[in-house]
């Protein structure tokens, strides 16, 4: 059985391969969650990766527990705090396929290094600058579920409820097998695997196309 790990922000441990959806409102709530998550990972000796789309990496490092010497751990590559633009816009535009390629390369490098048995990653999303369309982000989240089982890793995705609308939140829930609710990580009964989610998304696109055609006929 896979070894479980304490993610620092919930009263339950998760197993490697976990893909968790969490919601927050504003920078203070975001920081409280990701700092607890990263502190737990650093204390356990795991590789920790944080990708933020608002704020500066230095602010996150400064916020981590002083007893963990986060700056020194960053210098020694146990901790990477990365701007979202540096991860997701390497070719100048957001591409789910390119992002997954970048993740695979990064995690493969960590595993090849041999110092870490587990990677803990947290990404924050507030639809600022990096992702022009929430549908592209949802596509990335869905496809990440194919990649997660390939390496011992836990990924926590955090979304700003002040920036995402109701339809987007529904789709985000559909693309994560687990959901962070308060201090519990719950199995998500509404999760759809990548192929199933793609079929649903294509069906909705066909419905929209049909409605547009009908509207055009009525208007004429």
Q: Is 94 helix (H, G, I), strand (E, B) or coil?
A: coil
Structure tokens at 49: 């990766």
- Cα dihedral 51, 144, 155, 29 in deg (nearest 10): 60
CATH class in words for 5-191:
alpha beta
Phi first, then psi: what are they for 163, rounded to 5°? -115, -20
Q: Domain residues of the chain, as ranges?
A: 5-191
Tell the residue number behind the tokens 């919601």, with chain if given: 23
Cβ pair 60, 81 in contact under 8 A: yes
**Eight-state DSSP code of residue 201:** H
* Distance in angstroms (rounded) separating the CA atoms of residues 24 and 160: 5
Tell the residue number behind the tokens 């519990």, with chain if given: 184
Profile the chain (220 residues) by mean pLDDT over runs of 10 residues: 73 87 89 93 94 88 85 90 86 84 89 91 82 79 90 93 80 89 86 86 56 41
What is the model's pLDDT at position 3?
Answer: 62
* Distance in angstroms (rounded) separating the CA atoms of residues 183 and 199: 33
Nearest-CA neighbor of 118 among 184, 37, 58?
A: 37
Entry pTM: 0.86
Structure tokens at 1: 């059985």
What is the model's pLDDT at position 213?
Answer: 54
What is the model's pLDDT at position 11?
Answer: 73
């Amino acid at each position: 059985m896979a070894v479980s790990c304490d993610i620092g922000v919930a009263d339950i441990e998760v197993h490697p391969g976990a893909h968790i959806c969490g919601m927050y409102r504003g920078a203070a709530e975001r920081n409280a969650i990701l700092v607890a998550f990263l502190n737990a990972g650093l204390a356990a000796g795991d590789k920790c990766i944080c990708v933020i789309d608002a704020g500066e990496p230095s602010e996150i490092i400064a916020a981590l527990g002083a007893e963990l010497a986060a700056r020194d751990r960053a210098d020694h590559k146990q901790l990477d705090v990365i701007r979202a633009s540096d991860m997701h816009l390497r070719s100048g535009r957001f591409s789910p396929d390119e992002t997954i390629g970048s993740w695979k390369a990064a995690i493969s490098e960590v595993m090849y290094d041999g110092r870490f048995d587990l990677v803990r990653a947290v990404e924050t999303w507030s639809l600022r600058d990096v992702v022009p369309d929430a549908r592209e982000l949802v596509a990335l989240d869905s496809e990440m579920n194919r990649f997660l089982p390939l390496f011992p890793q836990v990924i926590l995705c955090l979304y700003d409820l002040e920036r995402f609308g109701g339809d987007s939140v529904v789709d985000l829930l559909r693309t994560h097998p687990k959901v962070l609710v308060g201090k519990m990580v719950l199995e998500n009964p509404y999760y759809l695997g990548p192929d199933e989610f793609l079929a649903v998304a294509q069906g909705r696109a066909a419905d929209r196309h049909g409605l547009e055609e009908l509207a055009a006929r009525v208007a004429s």
